[in-house]
């Protein structure tokens, strides 16, 4: 499978390492408008074609998959360009600027019959995956409550300065992952109520969001995110989970400690992710999930099945993001069907 990647920035290095680690995959082309970034990325490969312009790269062709690793503004035009050239697409989150664009992007690839997946990797973190597997095994019976929590004081702005600039911040950038974990655990949600705050005055968007979701499965979940929270030790970038079922409770606590309590019996498991040879703490759980999600994408294409976080699936997660902003703005519960 020949891969071309567009956007050789902060996060793409992880994606390129991920592709290098998957058997049968070869990165054949790289594109970035920024010559320095393109040079650094191309140094990871013995031989790779490089482009400053995505249209030129598509015109030359010679690849089966395009990995869109640019920031959100360019996602729609690049996905549509990919559709016009009939290749499989993996696109970074946030998928689109708004739900109308997201739907148009899904439609554009769907007519080609190619696969479109959103790089929604948090549900693929191995610790999160261990909890998803435990919930799906039925060990705690029927879940009725969940909390999916990400609270940190980590400086994300030094690596990703654009995060300080947008009118939207934590729900669009980070909450999107945390909402997606809630969906992976409890299924789709049709109603959401949210509040937001901006604590850090040096940024433009909200850095705290508290959301309550009513899932179609009957579960109520609380999804809370903050980049204004002092913690010691700092838990970035861990998602902490708590799920109550009618037979017991599962918790994923700080330090990747998984506990399952049934009656008075509690079992503990260390679900710490490995630090891959190209990875570094504290990003290692995210980096491992990049390798896992990209392997999932390759397997889905090979086997002709829809990826778990396909473009179509991601319309639900993206819908929750849009609905959360609307709820916080209008101070009311929002039905997703009304978007």
Q: Give the footprint of ligand 89V on this chain (CB under 6 A).
A: 156, 160, 173-174, 177, 237
67 or 173: CB nearest ligand 89V: 173
Residue 64 has a CB neighbour count (10 Å cut-off) of 17
CB 111 within 8 A of CB 311: no
| Nearby residues of 329 by Cβ (< 8 Å), 6 or more positions away | none
Which one, of 98, 326, 99, 320, lies nearest residue 189 by Cα?
A: 320
Q: Give min distance, CB of 24 to ligand 89V, in A.
A: 27
Distance of closest approach, residue 33 Cβ to ligand NAD, in angstroms: 4
237 binds, among ligand 89V, ligand NAD, none (CB under 5 to 8 A by kind): ligand 89V
254 phi and psi angles, rounded to 5 deg: -55, 145
Contact partner at residue 12 from ligand NAD, ligand 89V, none, CB < 5 to 8 Å by partner kind: ligand NAD
* Nearer residue to ligand NAD within complex by CB, 12 or 225: 12
Q: Output the residue with the shortest Cβ distance to ligand NAD.
A: 9
Residue with tokens 């109550």: 244
Q: Which residue has the tokens 């509690």?
A: 266
Taking the least distance from each CB to ligand 89V, the nearer of 125 and 210 is 125
Instruction: Please identify, using beta-carbon distances, which residue of 182 and 301 lies nearer to ligand 89V.
Output: 182
Nearer to ligand NAD, 72 or 185 (CB): 72
- The distance of closest approach from Cβ of residue 249 to ligand 89V in the complex, given in angstroms and rounded to an integer, is 27
> Looking at beta carbons only, is 93 or 114 nearer to ligand NAD?
93
**Contact at 8 Å (CB) between 150 and 174?**
yes
Binding residues for ligand NAD, rule: CB under 6 A, are 6-12, 31-34, 37, 54, 69-72, 74, 92-93, 119, 121, 160, 162, 173, 286
Place of tokens 């148009």: 104
Can the peptide bond before residue 282 be classed as cis, meaning omega within 30 degrees of 0? yes
Q: How many CB atoms lie within 10 A of CB 93?
A: 23
Partner whose binding site includes residue 207, from ligand 89V, ligand NAD, none (CB under 5 to 8 Å by kind): none
Q: How far is the CB of 125 from ligand 89V (least distance, A)?
A: 11
The span from the CA of 291 to the CA of 185, in Å, is: 21
CB of 68 to ligand 89V, least distance (A): 14
3-state secondary structure 242-266: EEEECCEEEEEECCCEEEEEECCEE
């Amino acid at each position: 499978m020949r891969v071309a990647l567009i956007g050789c920035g902060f996060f793409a290095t992880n994606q390129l390492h991920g592709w290098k680690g998957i058997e049968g995959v070869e990165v054949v082309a790289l594109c970035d408008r920024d010559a320095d970034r393109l040079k650094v990325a191309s140094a990871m490969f013995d031989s790779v074609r490089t482009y400053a312009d995505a249209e030129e790269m598509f015109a030359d062709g010679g690849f089966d998959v395009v990995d869109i690793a640019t920031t959100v503004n360019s996602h729609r035009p690049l996905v549509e360009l990919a559709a016009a050239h009939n290749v499989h697409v993996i696109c970074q989150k946030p998928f689109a600027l708004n739900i109308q664009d997201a739907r148009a992007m899904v439609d554009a690839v769907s007519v080609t019959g190619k696969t479109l997946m959103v790089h929604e990797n948090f549900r693929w973190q191995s610790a999160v995956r261990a909890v998803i597997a435990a919930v799906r095994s039925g060990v705690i019976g029927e879940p009725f409550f969940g909390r999916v929590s990400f609270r940190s004081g980590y400086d994300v702005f030094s690596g990703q300065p654009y995060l300080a600039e947008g009118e939207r911040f934590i729900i669009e950038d980070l909450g999107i992952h945390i909402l997606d974990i809630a969906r992976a655990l409890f299924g789709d949600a049709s109603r959401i109520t949210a509040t937001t705050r901006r604590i850090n005055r040096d940024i433009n968007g909200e850095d705290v969001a508290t959301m309550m979701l009513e899932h179609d499965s009957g579960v109520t979940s609380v999804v809370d995110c903050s980049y204004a929270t002092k913690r010691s030790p700092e838990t970035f970038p861990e998602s902490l989970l708590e799920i109550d079922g009618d037979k017991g409770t599962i918790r994923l606590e700080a330090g990747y400690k998984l506990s399952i309590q049934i009656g008075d019996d509690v079992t503990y498991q260390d679900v710490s992710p490995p630090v891959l040879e190209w990875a570094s703490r504290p990003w290692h759980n995210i980096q491992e999930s990049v390798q896992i999600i990209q392997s999932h994408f390759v397997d889905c294409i090979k086997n002709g099945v829809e990826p778990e976080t396909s473009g179509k699936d991601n319309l639900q997660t993206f819908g929750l993001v849009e609905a959360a902003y609307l709820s916080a703005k209008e101070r009311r519960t929002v039905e997703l069907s009304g978007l």
